[in-house]
Structure 1
Amino acid sequence: MISPAMSAALDSWLAHQRALKGAAENTITAYQTDLLGFLTFMTQYHGEAQGLGPISRITVSDMRAWMASERARGVAARSLARSLSAVKSFYRWLADREGFEPTAVLSTRSPKFQKKLPRPLAVDAARAMIDTVEVQAREPWIAARDVAVVTLLYGCGLRISEALGLTARDVPLPATLRIIGKGGKERLVPVIPAARAAVNAYLDACPHPMEPDAPIFRGARGGPLYPKAIQSVMAQSRMQLGLPATATPHALRHSFATHLLNAGGDLRSIQELLGHASLSTTQAYTAVDTARLMEVYDAAHPRSQNEADN
């Protein structure tokens, strides 16, 4: 479907994203899928394999046809915007390398979509979720495991992949945990006593040996624990509690940020704890109204502090 030269260029760009941009493997896979889909469409649309020559001659009309085809297949605006971003990034890199004009692709407008706002749990709902998760499993060690994972998500603001990626080298959990997050970015996360106690209780109950490099959280048969298991137990729990479908593992991370801000934490510190590159991302994570944000801003702003001193 694509020429050997184009295939080599794509591999080179993906390697560039991985090595120099620090993109995570999941991101690399998504890029590859998006670009292969785009190139496959262009091959079928023009009736010829997409090599370096044909790709340099893509027009605005071609781009419109691809986007219309994607929407006709039922691709959501958010997903199409992500695919277009990958195409533009690759095209910009390729144009600079091969010396052709990329305007037709780079000028293509991204489809508009409404950003989904995070929906954190209320404080009492988050606590009830941890209590209810504990009674779902028949085996005590699995119950302790699920409580430990959920407590890490809510108490430390970890992504589920980060919690499940902890190995025996990370235990006993220190007061401050070093986490490697998205894109290989490193951050330090304080571990609250409740999270440390929950993990210790699980380790005491777990029947499987803890090899140094093996994940500490195990499935029923001893293999690595996968996110689906935690998603499932939380789904059962939220049905019992009457919580909405948005009460997911990731919602606990939103809850961590929101409750911390409501308790007086500042956005910059929360940004560092979550591992966000942009403060605007942290603001989106925290479900607080504008008045509360301004209150936090005024309290932290140097000018406000100077006025208070005078």
Structure 2
Amino acid sequence: MAEWLDHLRVLNGAAENTVKAYATDITGYLAFMAQHRGGAEGLAALITLPHADLRAWMAHERARGVGARSLARALSAVKGFTGWLAERDGADATAVLSTRSPKFRRKLPRPLAVDAARAMIGTVGEQGAEDWISARDQAVVTLLYGCGLRISEALGLTGAAHPLPDTLRITGKGGKERLVPVLPVARSAVARYAALCPFDLAAGEPLFRGARGGALNPRQIALVMEKARNQLGLPATATPHAMRHSFATHLLNAGGDLRAIQELLGHASLSTTQAYTAVDTARLMEVYARAHPRA
């Protein structure tokens, strides 16, 4: 299993969190199979497990409260591991690899309206106990909406990124790099924060600092946005990640190309980005249901 995880990490470029999740999934799967089948067995038996054993494991997982989405991920890990073993040993893993994943409904992104996104940025800039903290929070949220960054990506910037260039090189999930254009408003927001910040923003140090000078905790941005959304009467879905969703949705609504938006977001698969078209369709159907004259 360790060898397979190294394969994922090195050759497939899997993120460390993904590798850890898969390790947990496979460890639980192997423990169940050992108990279910009366003891640990060799690799050949693991590769050729029948459908009935896979279904028993899936039923066990659901019974202990694992959701369909999490189970689908765990099954994906099992298939990946088993397929890798089968290819290495020249065995047939058809029964395992053909097992169907549980169906689940993908959660649609919950973007803010354009006016709400702007109001959020403005309100966040009025919450801090000190001017530099208000400027910091506003700069971070502006980057989330203006550049479509994940909160981890924004807070991962170092002093070397200031002043912001016309294009940022961002390293996202799985070590995947992408280029992100920087809007003048985002550059100005970061410049204002940097001018007010009482700490030395050295090239190798975090760009965004906490009140005591350490790296800014993402929870602080979540809290300031929670306070702002309560003031603005926005739903609980108005989170830091919702600003990234809003970036993508508003670009799409303005005629942006889906492939280009995929690149800007750093999505490995176009199907992930296509969730934003589902958001647009869902909104269209809501308007239709609300406005269409019915007998």
Decide: shared fold, TM above 0.5: yes
Distance 2:245 2:86 in 1: 40
* Residue 154, structure 1, aligned to residue 145, structure 2: yes
Matched letter for residue 223 of structure 1: G
Map of 1:137-148 to 2, 5 A cutoff? 137-148=128-139
Asked if the contact 2:33/2:57 (under 8 Å) is kept, the reply is yes
Partner of 1:273: 264
Superposed displacement of residue 23, structure 1 = 1.0
TM-score, length basis structure 1: 0.85
2:281 to 289, 294, 303: 289
Partner of 1:72: 63
Deviates more, 1:78-87 or 1:202-211: 202-211
Deviates more, 1:48-57 or 1:116-125: 48-57
Distance 2:41 2:161 in 1: 48
- Residues 164-207 of structure 1 show CA distances to partners (whole Å, capped at 9, x for unaligned) of 11111211110111111222222111100111111111112222
Distance 1:205 1:29 in 2: 40
Superposed displacement of residue 230, structure 1 = 1.6
- Residues 142-165 of structure 1 show CA distances to partners (whole Å, capped at 9, x for unaligned) of 221111110000001111111111
- Residues 198-235 of structure 1 show CA distances to partners (whole Å, capped at 9, x for unaligned) of 11111122222223222211222222223222222212
- Residues 45-80 of structure 1 show CA distances to partners (whole Å, capped at 9, x for unaligned) of 234235535523532221111111111111110111
- Residues 102-144 of structure 1 show CA distances to partners (whole Å, capped at 9, x for unaligned) of 1221121100011111111001100111112122221222221
User: RMSD between aligned alpha carbons?
Assistant: 2.0
Asked if the contact 1:155/1:195 (under 8 Å) is kept, the reply is yes
Partner of 1:209: 200
* Residue 136, structure 1, aligned to residue 127, structure 2: yes
Distance 1:51 1:249 in 2: 47
Partner of 1:6: none
Distance 1:209 1:69, change over 3 A: same
Deviates more, 1:283-292 or 1:138-147: 283-292
Asked if the contact 1:13/1:90 (under 8 Å) is kept, the reply is yes
Distance 1:81 1:133, change over 3 A: same
2:47 to 56, 72, 77: 56
Matched letter for residue 256 of structure 1: F
Distance 1:53 1:282 in 2: 39
Partner of 1:249: 240
2:6 to 6, 15, 26: 15
Asked if the contact 1:39/1:50 (under 8 Å) is kept, the reply is no
* Residue 36, structure 1, aligned to residue 27, structure 2: yes
Map of 1:175-186 to 2, 5 A cutoff? 175-186=166-177
Distance 1:266 1:54, change over 3 A: closer
Show structure 1 runs of 5+ residues with no match: 1-9, 293-310
Distance 1:79 1:290 in 2: 25
Partner of 1:222: 213
Distance 2:110 2:173 in 1: 22
Partner of 2:79: 88
Matched letter for residue 150 of structure 1: V
1:232 to 215, 223, 227: 223
Matched letter for residue 62 of structure 2: R
Asked if the contact 1:173/1:191 (under 8 Å) is kept, the reply is yes
Distance 1:283 1:176 in 2: 25
Matched letter for residue 163 of structure 1: A
Identity %: 68
Partner of 1:308: none
Matched letter for residue 275 of structure 1: G
